[in-house]
Structure 1
């Protein structure tokens, strides 16, 4: 027997009976939204400070995920588990794209709007981001001076120090090439991991073996391209950072004591995986 169509008010009443979450974990409970959405504490009376805070808080959340993926990817490369590593590295590149677009939102802040909140920032600066420093160290840009901004926070310093002392993603990639029988010199597989990376003709020759015969070295060839994608995305992130800062504050010094735009422009010249880029000319 055909049932009569249900009235809208009956549907709403029945559905509403299923919406009592007082006895179980809710969406807000699972995501800890009270803590997250209550973490915005503007110090100035200016309307635009909320944008500035949320921009940086969300960036830190994305960086937390980036480090989660990077650490796992480095471990997978060290264990020759390249399939899993590729998935993680691709995700890191997409996270960086997300962070690139985030600068578009901050760029809506005009110089007068930023000037209204700047006195309230004291010496706080993105330069002091421990997570960003760990990302740079994990990607191989090692610099002992970058430990100092975290010296006043022993727990944070320990995290940054650990990243500083560990082999980078590129270090583990070169060790993998050596394990596969490619001619990577010992100077680049067993070295002081805290030292800045030094470009090597021998390392480039090892990568050239891979790139001249991709079918024979397919997974290592794909690793090289994942590294290329990653650095490409990182360069875009840095570039949008520079242009956004210049747009908002010009060439004023940064609140953290750096030269601001002049410092950020120098960072654009840092090449993380130099042989991966040079081989394109020499192929």
Structure 2
């Protein structure tokens, strides 16, 4: 049998750098001191750390999602379809991470949540400006959702910009019109701050694509990428409402919403209605 090899000798043999007094380390690059010292429980409840980390990591994933979603919207507007597909696939995978995160929070029982709930005061995920930008970017426009950010002009400006800009679906329909498909003028130029109005004419334009995918391959692919994204988003909403009901029942939310009753209404929101309706016609 050979002599045991120490971890230190392996590190030296592989040439790993051990002295970071003059160069950037892993922790330096990732700003880990700032990230790992950003958890400040307001109560003595053990489970408050879970609640904080759950929501902080979700906000980090949403930061990346916004980064990718906004780039995807620009790509669709510029007819750069290959890159748009890559970005939208990544957005869907990020959404899957957010869906799975609810399974961790669901380990918190009602008594455990009740022990820390007073420390939340009126704070709520309902007030997340990043989430609101994502919803606006996906086309779910509601001017009332600007108000929770009015106390922060810097954040309000970001949310307002997303509210006033064409959504991902708006840019998709404009692309289809540029390709000569019969998208009505009312859906090519409109007040982007208004909720999206579902259209029989838009459904017919999509049916042209889906009935001849080889002729319209990139638009066909784009339609399926959008369907993937909404599918993942629906799962996120469903896991959200079931986790909230499991943890707090039908109590009102800390941000003043009806809690579960409000979240259940959100399950009925359809982002890309014609892409779902056309399936009945095929």
Task: Tell me the matched-pair count.
Answer: 279
Q: What displacement does 1:131 show?
A: 0.3
Report the secondary structure of 1:255's partner residue: coil
Residue in 2 that maps onto 1:11? 9
Q: What displacement does 1:13 show?
A: 7.9
Residue in 2 that maps onto 1:67? 66
Report the secondary structure of 1:8's partner residue: coil
Q: What displacement does 1:14 show?
A: 3.4
Q: Structure 2: how far apart are the matches of 1:35 and 1:69?
A: 24
Matched, 1:213 2:212: yes
Q: Structure 1: how far apart are the matches of 2:249 and 2:230?
A: 26
Given the superposition, is the C-alpha separation of residues 28 and 185 from structure 1 closer, same or farther in structure 2, using an over 3 Å criterion?
Answer: same
Q: What displacement does 1:12 show?
A: 5.2
Q: Structure 1: how far apart are the matches of 2:127 and 2:5?
A: 56
Given the superposition, is the C-alpha separation of residues 219 and 113 from structure 1 closer, same or farther in structure 2, using an over 3 Å criterion?
Answer: same
Give per-residue Cα distances to partners, 1:239-258, cap 9 Å, x unaligned.
00000000000000000000
Residue in 1 that maps onto 2:171? 172
Moved over 4 A (4+): none
Given the superposition, is the C-alpha separation of residues 17 and 210 from structure 1 closer, same or farther in structure 2, using an over 3 Å criterion?
Answer: closer
Q: Structure 2: how far apart are the matches of 1:244 and 1:122?
A: 20
Give per-residue Cα distances to partners, 1:184-211, cap 9 Å, x unaligned.
0110010000000000000000000000
Q: Structure 2: how far apart are the matches of 1:219 and 1:105?
A: 38
Q: Following superposition of structure 1 onto structure 2, how do residues 34-73 of structure 1 map, counting pairs within 5 Å?
A: 34-73=33-72
Q: What displacement does 1:18 show?
A: 3.3
TM-score by length of 1: 0.96
Unpaired runs of 5+ residues, structure 1, are: none
Unpaired runs of 5+ residues, structure 2, are: none
Residue in 1 that maps onto 2:184? 185
Q: Structure 2: how far apart are the matches of 1:272 and 1:280?
A: 15
Give per-residue Cα distances to partners, 1:77-109, cap 9 Å, x unaligned.
000001000000000000010000000000000
Q: What displacement does 1:8 show?
A: 3.4
TM-score by length of 2: 0.96
* Superposed CA RMSD: 1.5
Q: What displacement does 1:23 show?
A: 1.2
Q: What displacement does 1:72 show?
A: 0.2
